[in-house]
Structure 1
Amino acid sequence: MIPDGVEVVQSRADAAQLASPPLLILEAVEKFLDAQGLGSGPLRWARIGDGQSNVTYRIERGTDVFVLRRGPRPPLPKSTHDMVREARIQQLVAAEGVPVPRILAVCADESVLGVPFYVMSFLSGITVADKVPALLGSPEQRAATSAAVVDTLVQLHRVPVTAGGLATFGRPDGYLRRQVERFGSLWSVNTTRDLPDVARIGRWLGENIPQSQTASVIHGDYRTGNLLFAADAPARVLAVLDWEMATVGDPLADLGYLTATYSEPGSTSTPLELTGVTRQPGYLSRHELVDRYQEQMPLDLRELNWYQALALWKASIFCEAIYTRWLNGERPDDTSFGPSLGEGIPRLLDGARQFAGRSSGVDF
């Protein structure tokens, strides 16, 4: 008997013995790859990343290496974890020169793994997280790493969205108001505790929505840790990863998120501090990131603090959903991130208050 909770099995017969479905059925994936002409022979697999949302695997067949990306186990909330959409937007921005992995195959047939998935090329590179990469460790390369983060964001925001396939990927008119209203409605669904700052900050955001100046493709989770860098100098981005939240909307939402979650000396640590190395000397500061962006994008950034407050407020709400699932025993293998959110989410809210210009303990 196969124990429950196993994420990868060999066959459908093995999968049928589980109370909850596995994430990979190797024989099914092999058959799909065969039909697509992607490698041959048995699979070897390894999970990539933490998989807080969607799940990514390295797949080897002989000398061929691929990456398979799929959503979590069903049931899935409506309109989330849309792998077909995620693959398609990468294909469209790739055609405009944005660096992304090459999409090799898309499977919309849920009978294969229970959810749609896609297969993309494997790129050999590095992510910048809690350690400085050796070949990018000089002061010059640290500054170049930060600069590459901004320059790639500018490249994405310059992609035209008024015609063609990208025009169907979002409704830029009213984007910011929908963000405030949607996330505001999610708090009561996702929490078991009372944190009054959620409503206070949400009210402030709703009363001070800026006028969007333009529309662009926005990544939705744009940060240093979601970029794959070449492993040698000079610092350059090989690919932007994790397009789950991408849409067409206000580009300053990306810049606000990038800078609000960016670590610099003296910044408060939050659950979204996923690339702590930028606290070290040599990396650009938040202010320098903003200046570099504005040099290349003709946008008024005087209300960027609103977008930064929005970023941390939204983060507090989606992190609360994770925390509640952990409290309910739905994340039994999570021994660090989930438990940290009890105190981490109030820190996110404190950060949002600061960007909104409100001191802790002072009502709006």
Structure 2
Amino acid sequence: MAVTTHEELEMTPSLPGLDLAVLEAYLRERQPSMLTGQLRGSVIAGGKSNLTYDVTDGAGRWVVRRPPLGHILATAHDMSREYTIMRALAGTGVPVPITFALCDDPEILGAPFYVMGWSDGAAYRWREELEPLGPERVKKISRAMVSTLVDLHAVDYQECGLAGFGRPDGYLERQVSRWGRQLDSSRSRDLAGADELRQRLEAGVPASSSGIVHGDFRLDNLLVNEADEVTAVLDWEMATLGDPLADVALMLAYDTLARLGDGIANASLAPGFLTQDEILDLYSKSSGRDVSDIGFHLGLAFFKLAVILEGIHYRFTQGQTVGEGFGLAGALVEPALAAGLSSIKE
């Protein structure tokens, strides 16, 4: 989440996908004391899925999230899911933003949305953003990232009210099936390796453990303050109950794509950032979890990323994206599939 000041926000009655006048009327009706002035805002750059907005009335500051415009995958972009898990995690020690309002009625803004508090901190996506901090601070930040994931996976989901949030039993089988279906719904071209990886995943599902799974855990979905501490974990749209190793594998998969020269994120290439082996070692020792089946999880992580990227590519070709960088997604799908095959064969 890019950090901007109030002065940098342009006064506007409407943003792509968000009518500020309608939002203001909605909030004034439901929380009369929340606003003191007219809303203004801007699109927060960087997200490739849900649309995210920085909104202020000149005194308070909030973040609004809604699904993307146009084609969306079934079960994805669930505003209630994000809102529910952040409310549940408040007070657990996992840093999450304060939540203010959830609207499931698509008639208000054209899609469901929710409003959460603004969290201070920087989201480091690119190597060039981390490098100026120096290797020692970069190492500290990457260790904080892993420690935050360990803390999340240590939360007892039953004690924090999330017992009905998902079905941990059979999670891996359902993930393979789900992302296979999602690929079928978004695929508009031949993709080398897609069917082979899917078949290998279906045939090799290991036993799994259970816990809260973020679903898209990486450095630029965290906010980090000047003391190199994680102040907020963001983007919970894929959160569920399942095998925590899915989150670990996805972190490593993003790093691999960065080394292939992708345009999603490459902060892990900054000098001082923990290597994949160091990440696995720190996570395993801190959490006490066995990571010996990480090969399957990596294969699933790359399959998932390939499907997400193909969905972004589809929306881009249909002119249904907001912002820059979406055109790069299509070229990354087959490298992700190839990396998944390589991981699962090892």
TM over 0.5: yes
TM score, norm. by length of structure 1: 0.84
The question of 1:192 aligning with 2:188 is answered yes
Give the equivalent residue in structure 2 for 1:297: 287
* SS of alignment partner, residue 222 of structure 1: coil
Shift of 1:33: 2.3
Shift of 1:135: 9.9
The question of 1:227 aligning with 2:222 is answered yes
1-structure distance, mates of 2:58, 2:123: 26
Give the equivalent residue in structure 1 for 2:157: 161
* CA separation of 1:107 and 1:187: change in aligned 2, threshold 3 A: closer
Give the equivalent residue in structure 1 for 2:94: 98
The letter of the residue matching 1:351 is A
Shift of 1:52: 2.2
Asked whether the equivalents of residues 313 and 349 of structure 1 are also in contact (C-alpha less than 8 Å), the reply is yes
Give the equivalent residue in structure 2 for 1:59: 55
Give the equivalent residue in structure 1 for 2:35: 39
Aligned pairs (5 A) from 1:1-364: 10=13, 23-35=17-29, 36=31, 37-73=33-69, 76-133=72-129, 137-163=133-159, 165-212=161-208, 214-230=209-225, 232-233=226-227, 235-262=228-255, 267-272=259-264, 274=265, 276-327=266-317, 329-331=318-320, 336-338=325-327, 340-357=328-345
Deviations 1:317-357 (A, max 9, x none): 22112223333x3347666432x334321111121122123
Asked whether the equivalents of residues 39 and 55 of structure 2 are also in contact (C-alpha less than 8 Å), the reply is yes
* SS of alignment partner, residue 81 of structure 1: coil
* CA separation of 1:297 and 1:134: change in aligned 2, threshold 3 A: closer
The letter of the residue matching 1:279 is L
**Larger RCO: Structure 1 or Structure 2 (Cα < 8 Å, ≥ 6 residues apart)?**
2
* CA separation of 1:121 and 1:237: change in aligned 2, threshold 3 A: same
2-structure distance, mates of 1:70, 1:341: 21
* SS of alignment partner, residue 250 of structure 2: helix
Greater C-alpha Rg: 1
Asked whether the equivalents of residues 264 and 285 of structure 1 are also in contact (C-alpha less than 8 Å), the reply is no
RMSD: 2.5
2-structure distance, mates of 1:127, 1:336: 17
Structure 1 regions of 5+ residues with no counterpart?
1-7, 12-20, 359-364
Asked whether the equivalents of residues 271 and 345 of structure 1 are also in contact (C-alpha less than 8 Å), the reply is no
Deviations 1:109-154 (A, max 9, x none): 3332122211111122111111455797132211101100100000
Deviations 1:180-231 (A, max 9, x none): 112123333322322241111111111111100x21111000001100000x
Structure 2 regions of 5+ residues with no counterpart?
1-10
Deviations 1:54-98 (A, max 9, x none): 111111112211111122236755433221221111010123121
1-structure distance, mates of 2:12, 2:19: 5
The letter of the residue matching 1:229 is V
Shift of 1:22: 5.5
Asked whether the equivalents of residues 131 and 271 of structure 2 are also in contact (C-alpha less than 8 Å), the reply is no
TM score, norm. by length of structure 2: 0.88
Percentage of matched positions with identical amino acids: 36
